[in-house]
Amino acid sequence: MKTTIKEAVKDKRILIWGYGREGKASENYIKNNCEPKSVEVFQGKLEDIFENDYDMIIKSPGIVMQDYEPYNKKKFTSQTELFLNEYRDQVIGITGTKGKSTTSAMMAHVLRQCTGRPVILLGNIGFPCMDYCDEITEDTIIVFELSCHQMRHTKVSPHVSVFLNLYEDHLDYYHSMDQYFLAKSHIATYQEEGDYFYKGENVPEIDTKAKTKVIKASDVVGVPLRVFGEHNQLNATFVRNIARDVYGCSDGDITYALSLFSGLSHRLQSIGEYAGINWYDDSISTIPEAAVGALKSIPGVKTILIGGMDRGIDYDLLEDFMAENGEYNYVCMYESGKRVHDEFLYRYPQYRNAGAGRCVLYVPNLQMAVDKAAEITPKGSGCVLSPAAASYGYFKNFEDRGDRFAEMVKAL
């Protein structure tokens, strides 16, 4: 049974745990639109929360909380869970290790074009969901990009759920792939009869009541897209199936709408030609598969910039690609770049000597990587920033990293 946010917090003593974007949005919405008994904000440790002083504790997604025990599970919730409890019937929830931001934006774009209904794009891609509550009508379609952190302690799933793919990521937070998958699996676990679940072919089975459809690479029907890469053709296939099956859009209308989608910033985005080189920003890249995909997707690229925060993920796939594809220059930087550089030379000692057929080198930071790329990249070819690593510790976020990269390139 649907419970509105206002009903859920009425006359409750509320603690908002964490005060980032979601925490601030929760405080703002509850104070201005609801009737709680009290609202407090806390940014400390779990063991410092006096649980008996509150009826509801709204946890921000970035806070690591491995297990609720011995704490009262019923008191802990999240902005995502409160929002889905009210609006799940209108929500398309999209998750996956890579591609979820582009697919979410593509989905919102196509549904705006093809249905004539109001469509709101929110969640991990932009602003917190509670910032949009006042804009939602009964006819609104809500496209909600959902991270593993947002889903981990959420016990309600969207009406339409999408799980694009599963690769190794966030192991600094979850410590195992099983725990990482479990967090993401909640996007479908609590679906109901009459719901829809679309999953990629490398996503393990999830016990759900929803009608399930597996989207495979063999299902792709090429359409004219303005965004690079075969992976975006697969993303478009997810969008096509949902727009057609759930919302009744015609194939012709969907194809036309897809052809107008221009992509998102920091996702295989062209910066322009500077110093005789074509530069591309793929700062959203945080895993090896994304970096390899960038090189395969953009024509004419000869240099890639790799590295950032080291979260302990496995880089064998990227290092094997480096060994097999000597036509590229690999400029490694920061902590994870140092590890990739050193692991590559340890695993492939034949390339330790200069002139051995692979240009794999390390520099400490992004500015030095840009300068080195400008020096070694052939004129008329391209260079892409696709770090295969998180930005934290060096930049505010991946957007900041991409913006700084563009500034450096334009200053050449």
**56-65, 349-358, 388-397, range with greatest mean pLDDT:** 388-397
Count other Cβ atoms within 10 Å, centred on residue 340.
Answer: 26
Contact 51, 72 (CB under 8 A): yes
**65-74, 212-221, 346-355, range with greatest mean pLDDT:** 212-221
User: Could you write out the DSSP letters of every residue in 295-360?
Assistant: HHHSTTEEEEEE--B------HHHHHHHHH-TTSEEEEEHHHHHHHHHHHHHH-GGGSSTTSS-EE
Question: What span, in angstroms and rounded, lies between the C-alpha atoms of 215 and 164?
Answer: 8
pLDDT at 170 over 90: no
pLDDT reported for residue 301: 96
- Name the average pLDDT for the chain: 92
Residues 221-239 have a mean pLDDT of 88
Question: What span, in angstroms and rounded, lies between the C-alpha atoms of 205 and 386?
Answer: 30
List Cα–Cα distances, 172 to 118, 177, 332, 412, in angstroms.
Answer: 38, 11, 21, 36
Band of pLDDT at residue 389, cut at 50, 70 and 90? very high
Task: Tell me how many helices (H) and strands (E) the chain has.
Answer: 14, 16
pLDDT > 90 in the chain, percent: 74
pLDDT reported for residue 127: 80
Residues 174-187 have a mean pLDDT of 84
Residue entry with tokens 């990269």: 405
pLDDT reported for residue 311: 87
- Check: pTM over 0.85? Answer yes or no: no
Question: What span, in angstroms and rounded, lies between the C-alpha atoms of 107 and 236?
Answer: 8
pLDDT at 171 over 60: no
Domains along the chain with CATH numbers? 5-77 (3.40.50), 87-260 (3.40.1190.10), 269-410 (3.90.190.20)
Tokens for 368? 């030095």
pLDDT at 48 over 70: yes
**Quick one: angle between helices 288-297 and 230-245, nearest 10?**
100
Higher pLDDT, 351 or 71: 351
